[in-house]
């Protein structure tokens, strides 16, 4: 394959992934079709299998990319000011902007229900577990004062910091409830209450 064709193929592949990351966060994995993703990327449906073996392969790769984007947001906050990174992350995560723009938000919120329905044998399950585990470990380093990216000091092999686990559960759960109740005053109350609880801690 000529170099120009390889470069174009790589560009198209990334464009498909970019649109898939956005769409699965907006609609969930089960709410997105291959033709919809390809059309959003400006490509024909027929070209899909030049890039991915299956829809499941696309979802797994797009899900991993979506989690990586969320981790990059957190890394940027740390680089700007490590001392306030956790508080700023919590405030951004539990904001109405995050609630109202799911296409730019956390895959942990957007994919939770779909992954639960699909079960542990689905490729997206492993992607989801890896993504939330990374978020838990990063929250642990922020709480403990360790350098982000360091190997987390955990309470036993295969175990994760209970406080970081509870923190991510609160973040994701509050945002899920806020989105589900958007339009009613309780939606913002979920965000406000979770933010107050986490920042008070």
CATH number of the domain bearing residue 76: 1.10.357.10
- In a domain? residue 130: yes
pLDDT value, residue 128: 96
Give the pLDDT confidence of 138-194 residue by residue, as tens digits: 899 887 765 555 444 555 556 899 999 999 999 999 999 999 999 999 999 999 999
- In a domain? residue 10: no
pLDDT value, residue 46: 85
- In a domain? residue 18: no
Is the CB of residue 183 less than 8 Å from the CB of residue 79?
Answer: no
Range of the domain at 77: 54-200
**Chain centre to alpha carbon of residue 58:** 15
3-state SS assignment for residue 23: helix
- In a domain? residue 142: yes
Nearest Cα residue to 19 out of 71, 62, 68, 52: 62
3-state SS assignment for residue 32: coil
Which stretches of the chain drop beneath a pLDDT of 50?
150-152
pTM value is 0.85
pLDDT value, residue 151: 47
Is the CB of residue 71 less than 8 Å from the CB of residue 138?
Answer: yes
pLDDT value, residue 83: 86
- In a domain? residue 94: yes
Q: Residue 196 burial by CB count (10 A; 0-12/13-18/19+): exposed, middle or buried? A: exposed
Provide the number of structural domains found in the chain: 1
What is each CA distance from 201 to 160, 190, 195, in whole angstroms?
A: 19, 17, 10
pLDDT value, residue 67: 94
- In a domain? residue 176: yes
- In a domain? residue 62: yes
- In a domain? residue 104: yes
């Amino acid at each position: 394959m000529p170099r120009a064709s390889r470069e174009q193929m790589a560009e198209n592949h990334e464009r498909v992934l970019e649109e898939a990351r956005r769409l699965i966060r907006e609609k969930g994995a089960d709410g997105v079709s291959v033709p919809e993703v390809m059309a959003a990327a400006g490509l024909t449906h027929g070209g899909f299998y030049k890039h991915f073996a299956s829809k499941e392969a696309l979802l797994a790769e797009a899900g991993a990319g979506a989690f990586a984007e969320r981790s990059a947001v957190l890394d940027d906050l740390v680089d700007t000011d490590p001392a306030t990174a956790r508080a700023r992350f919590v405030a951004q995560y539990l904001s109405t902007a995050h609630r109202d723009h799911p296409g730019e938000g956390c895959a942990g919120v957007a994919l939770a229900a779909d992954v639960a329905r699909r079960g542990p044998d689905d490729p997206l399950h492993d992607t989801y577990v890896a993504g939330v585990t990374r978020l838990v470990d990063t929250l642990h380093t922020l709480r403990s004062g360790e350098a982000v990216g360091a190997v987390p000091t955990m309470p036993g092999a295969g175990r994760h910091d209970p406080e970081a686990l509870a923190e991510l559960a609160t973040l994701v759960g509050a945002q899920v409830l806020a989105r589900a109740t958007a339009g009613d005053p309780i939606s913002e109350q979920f965000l406000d209450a979770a933010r107050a609880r986490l920042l008070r801690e």
